[in-house]
Structure formats: C-alpha cells, structure tokens
Amino acid sequence: MKFSENWLRTFVNPALDSDQLSEALTMAGLEVEALEPVAPAFDKIVVAEVLSLEKHPDADRLNVCQVNVGAGETLQIVCGASNVHAGARVPCALVGAELPGLTIKRAKVRGIESFGMLCSAKELGLAEESSGLLLLPSDAPTGTSIRAYLDLDDKLFTLKLTPNRSDCLSLLGVAREVAAVTGADLALPPVASVPSGGAGTLPVVVAEPSACPRYCGRVVRGIKPGAVTPDWMVRRLERCGIRSINPVVDITNYVMLEQGQPLHAFDMAKICGGLQVRFARDGEQVALLNQQVVELAPDMLVVADDGGALALAGIMGGESSAVTDGTTDIFLESAFFDPDVIAGKGRRIGVSTDSSYRFERGVDFASTRTALERASELILDICGGEAGGVQEVCSVLPKRDPIVLRAERARRVLGIDLSDAVISGLLRRLHLDFSEQAGNYCVTPPSYRFDLAIEVDLIEELARLHGYDNIPALPPRSDLRLLPQAEAVQGTDRIRQFLVARDYQEVVTYSFVDKAWESDLAGNEAPVALQNPIASQMSVMRSTLFGGLLDVLRFNFNRRHDRVRIYEIGSCFAGGENAYSQPQRLGGLCYGGAKAEQWGEALRQVDFFDVKADLEALCHPAELHFNAASHPALHPGQSAQVFLDGAAIGWIGTLHPRWQQKYDLPQSAVMFELELSPLMRRRIPRFSEVSKFPPVRRDLAVVVEEGVDVQTLLDGMREQLPESVTDLMLFDVYRGKGIDLGKKSLAFKVLMQDTRKTLTDEEVEAALARIKEVLATRFNATLRA
C-alpha cells in the first residue's frame, strides 16, 4: 500500500513528523517498508510565464525567451525545448538555484546571456524521462514556489501489510489506525447521498447471492466527453502508483484508494439488456481490459449482459464494455464479493489487480453503498451529468459475532496491569462497540475488521495501542528441572551421530515430489496431490524418501562425485479421503566405492551386505531379520524386507536396473528405508557374568536345498539351543564341485561356554547332537562329508 503523506493528513494530522509517524505505524504492526520524498531537494524554482520568444541568431534549435517570474522584471532565458511557446507557464530555475547535480548560474549561450533555466519534469527529478518542458495550467500563479504549487514537500509511505489487515488498504483505513495509535482526531470526508434525477435504471439480477451478497449500482447519463481529471486528483493517484486514464476511471481508482472499495464503470451504450452476476458458463470467454482473452472456468464469477460476460467480477473489467473518452452514459458498480470466490482466480489466469488484491482479503461490506455515493458525487462534480437512483441487491451479509474480552485474561497474557479504564479507552480509540460488566467486555468487531475473531485478537490490539515499548521486558523466572528420559528411548540425534560416524552425510529434500517418482519408486498411482503446487515437478506429497535421495545422487554424480553416502530423516505422506498419515522414516543411499579410494586397500564397489551391516550395527543389540521380498524401486533378486522384533519396519536393496537406466546412473545404488519409531526403541543393557572358563568352538557344515533361507535355519536352531551355546553364526556358503545341483553347503560356527566350569566333550557333543537333530528333522539337512 503506497500513499501520499499529505493526503493522509487531510484525514488525521497527528503532531508527529514523517519519521515519527513512520515509527509509530511500524510499531503498531503496519510496517513502513519505504519512506521517500516526492521530489529531491531543490530551491529557487518558481512558476514563470513565457511572454515572448525569438529564434537564437546562432542556433536553429535554441530560442531566446522573455520570461515573467513574478519579480517585477523580465528575465532573458535561452531555452532549447521543443514545446516552449508564448503564454506557457513552466517551472523556472533562477540564478543560484540548486537542482539535482546542477547549480544554475548566469551564463552566455552562443553569445546570448541567459539568466536562469526553464525546467522539465526530468530536471526537477519528477520523472525519469521527459520530452519537453513541464507545462503548468494557465492559471498557475507566477512567482509561486514550484515546491508549494506542486506540493513537492510531500512524502510517500509504502506499507508492507500482513494479509489479515485488508482494512488498511485504503487511506481511510490507515487514517483510522493513525488516529487509534496516536490519539489524534479523525476527520472522515462527508459523503452525502446524490439526489436521483431522471437517468433511469438498469435491470440487475444477482444469480449467485452467496458469491455476491451485496451489489449496488446506478446509471449516470450526460457525462461531458471533454471532461478533464483535476490536477489534484491526478497528483494523488500518481503518488499512489496509479496512472491517470480518463476522469471516470480515475474517479473509481481514487475512491478505491480512499475508501478501500473497488468500483467499476460500464459504458451503457455497450450493454445489451440488463446485468447478471453469475458463474461463467462452459466455454465462455471474455476479453479483459489488458487485451487478454480468458477462457473462463465454471467457478469464476462474472458480470454479464444478455450477450455474454462483460467483466471478471472483482478482478478486471472487459474490453467490450470499457469506458472511453467518448463515453457519455455509464453504469457505476460497487459490490461486495465473497473473498473465497475471488481468491486465486487472478493468479490462475496470470492477472493481478488492485481490485482482486482487496477482494481476496475482504472489503468493508457496510461501505459498499457509501463508496458508490462518493464516486457519484465526484463524477457529477468533475464530469457533469445526471444520476439515477441507487439499485441495491442484498442477501445474507457476513455476521460479526461479539467477542468476550476478559480483562483479567488480558492482564495475564500481556504481563502488565492494565486497568479497566485503560482497556475501555483503548477499545474506544479503535472505534469498537462494546459493553462492560464485571471486567468482561462484549465487543462487536466492525465490518471492516475481518482480523478480529477471537479473544486473543483483541488482546493483541490492546498491546499494539498500549505500545510494545511500554511493555517491560522482564527476564523469565522458572524452576529448571531435568525432565526424565527413558533409557529405552533414543533420540534422532544418536541415530544421526551413528550414521555420520559410518561415513553418511545428512540431506534434506522437498516433501513435494514429481508424480512420476511416486509411480516408479513406490508403485503409488494415487499419491496425495497438492491443490496449489509451486512447480509442475512438485505436484504431490512423497510416500517414500527414495525419490529425493536419488535426486541428490544424480545432482552429485553430474558434478563428478563418484562416491555418495547419504541419509535423510523426514516425513512421508499417505492416505486419502481425509484419512492421512504422516510417518517419520529414515532413508539412506550408498553409491560408488565401499571405502574412499586409498593405497592400502583395493577399490571395491559398495554392495547389499555393506549396507546391511550398517543397519545391523545401528540396531545392535537388537537383531534385524531380512526376508527376501520385492519392492517397486528395488532389484527383485537383491531386495529384502527388514523385520525388528517380528514386525516389518522397512526395506533394503539395490536399485532396480530399470530405474538405474531411466535416471542415467552408470551403476546401481544400494538404498534402505526404515520406519523411525521402532529405531528409537532401545534395549536396556542387562548384566551377564563373564565366564572365566575357555570357550569351545565347533564348526558344523550341512547341505540343504537351494531354496532354504539361512535366516530360517538360524531361527530354527536358536529355538532349540542349549544354554551352553553362546553364539551361532554362518561363516561360509559353498556351491560347486562335490555339492549336488540345486543344493548348497552352509557352514556355521557354534561357540559354547559355561560360567561355572569347563565344558566336557560329552556336553559339547550333546549340544551339537541337539542342533543336528533340528537341522535334520525340520530342514532335511545332511552333514557335509
């Protein structure tokens, strides 16, 4: 929101200079992003009249002008501007004047003396480019300082408003805030009802009352085609960043800036029949004022006549019904559109307007008619004509429910002792209607304050007006007690430390991913879709971390990093039909060498078992189980489902060759993804006596069918292990000469030890016999000769 300080001070004029006013607004929550002068500093520049001129004798493009500067004597000034002429009133810099980067001195120009300089807007610092002198109105008083005449001591404020403060998108809204913050008197411009003449009416039908709860309009006939926008209005519009177009359009823009209510004017001669406020029809189009032809969607609200859409409601008018310099009859529209109906439509078609910016955030539905009357008054004063009666269609307007503000609650939240009298005074400064009983205030928010909905909103208002600087910054006082931390739970920091110690680097990737990733890597054809994606390749929420990890791998590989070990802890998203889940997962990827290139060990590519060892070490002393299974992202013969305490917690495997080729990787990567919550459960260490007696090791080699899983064998043997067996593990797998086709040889290490005595040969053999029996009876295993 950009506005002129002098315009603001016509409504409220606190005893503060520009910098102090800027500070007060910023501390009240209306951040002043920029405060800049309208014109650079200069002096001794006055309004002058060119009395006569003649060609310079020695220069074809120069004129010798006789100029009246209101000082009683005529000055001779040499000027080269193409638009200089007798009778022109222009700015004149006198000798000694200081212009931006220039000091005016008495000089000779091609032998002719010149006692000043006639100025353009560019030379005054009012424009970046200009084609000639700045021509002033014929009634500009000569000798008057140009700074005073053009109000150049004004300053421009630019507010950086938060989305909830739509009431401050107008001069009146800002003036209300200034009055409330500073306590200055507020003088709102009087708006009288324009008397109805014989201009008639136009049939208006609001087919969608929920989308347009209030619609006001009136016919104005007999506008003078040659009417000109007054300089004071043009000046105020330009200082708010809006260029002048024609008087009717300028007035609608002026009222929008002043009142905060966007308006629109239709050329009556271009309207066929009456007006309708309805949603667009299938295939309907409209040519907007910016010459953009828009294909309308059924959820877009339009203002239409019998021939079709004339305007995109609340966003932009149509070219077919636009007001031009030759327009004599208009229909002036002022409406309140539901913010939810307008929101997002402009961005969808690539259009952003001052009207849509305000309607999206909400305008004052109680001032719809007031703004229409204000605009009508200005049109009749500036353009002439005759106004018809106001046509108003009103349905159910937004309800402003009372809010109960508890004084004691406000004191507790703010930490300061605000008396009831102070609270009442602050609420009155905000022009809020309220009643008070026993320290409870029943406050009804005004129609223009959409941001006031609950009690804490009012408490925030009290803090703003009381002044944040007046709230003492007290150090917090609290008992610092260490919270209990269960030994059976480990935090994510320990998991991160472990992975970093094993040469992994943490990455953080977007939760928004490409839909193709979900289909390829998760087999998810119906991912959680975003209604408003920030990019086409980030249109859905991820249900797996694999996509982001592969994207990081490709990014690094393309920059010649041939060894990548990364992990990520993040949320995944699944579900639908309002039943969403957001599990936390740990994902990792290894690519390239198992170890960094070195002289002491030959280079070896990382494989499935390297990563499997990392996961087993991460979960130690708990044991992970790995069952061969298929996953959409992984190689069908090199993938496994990971189990912990009998429950599936994730996957590990090598990237599927299909995706390796699609994502342009010369070799495959090993990846894993585990649920985070099971990893955070830790087994509490238990004391066990360390034996003083020597252990006994026996190796047991058996031949089994190829299809028998090693994990199944280990689980079966462990179920029947004698107490003396302290460790059982596989240390060799053999296929080949001496082993029948379709079978394999598995060699196990059996470690036995007793804490009370040395084991005898009979006890050792009895334990081995028990293991052999399990292998023979349950798995049809035979001892290898």
Question: Which residue numbers belong to the known binding site for Mg(2+)?
Answer: 451, 457, 460-461
688: number of Cβ within 10 Å:
8
Token duo for residue 674 = 């585990």
Note whether 570 and 544 are within 8 A (CB): no
Burial of residue 493 (number of CB atoms within 10 Å: 0-12, 13-18, 19+): exposed
The helix (H) or strand (E) run that includes residue 317 is strand 316-317
Token duo for residue 137 = 């109105």
Cα(771)–Cα(284) distance, rounded to whole angstroms? Answer: 81
650 closest CA partner among 766, 502, 544: 544
Angle between helices 455-466 and 420-429 (to 10 degrees): 90
Burial of residue 512 (number of CB atoms within 10 Å: 0-12, 13-18, 19+): middle
Token duo for residue 701 = 């080699």
Q: What is the DSSP letter of 707?
A: T
Peptide bond between residue 14 and the one before it cis (omega within 30 degrees of 0): no
- Token pair 């349905």: residue: 395
Cα(562)–Cα(594) distance, rounded to whole angstroms? Answer: 11
First-to-last C-alpha distance (Å) of the chain: 91
Half-sphere exposure of 132 (CA within 13 A, CB side): 11
Vertex 203, ends 200 and 205: CA angle to 5°?
A: 150
User: How far are the Cα atoms of 418, 609, 654 from residue 603, in angstroms, in the given order?
Assistant: 74, 16, 19
Cα Rg of the chain (Å, integer):
41
Question: Which residues, in sequence order, are CB contacts of 350 under 8 Å at separation 6+?
Answer: 292
Phi and psi at 42, nearest 5°, equal: -160, 165
Please state the separation of Cα 593 from the chain's center in Å: 42
759 closest CA partner among 689, 688, 690, 692: 692
Note whether 445 and 364 are within 8 A (CB): no
- Give 220-288 as a DSSP string: EE---TT----HHHHHHHHHTT-----HHHHHHHHHHHHHS--EEEEEGGG--S-EEEEEPPTT-EEEB
Binding residues: 451, 457, 460-461
Cα(562)–Cα(593) distance, rounded to whole angstroms? Answer: 8
User: How far are the Cα atoms of 175, 229, 248, 276, 384 from residue 327, in angstroms, in the given order?
Assistant: 34, 15, 9, 22, 12
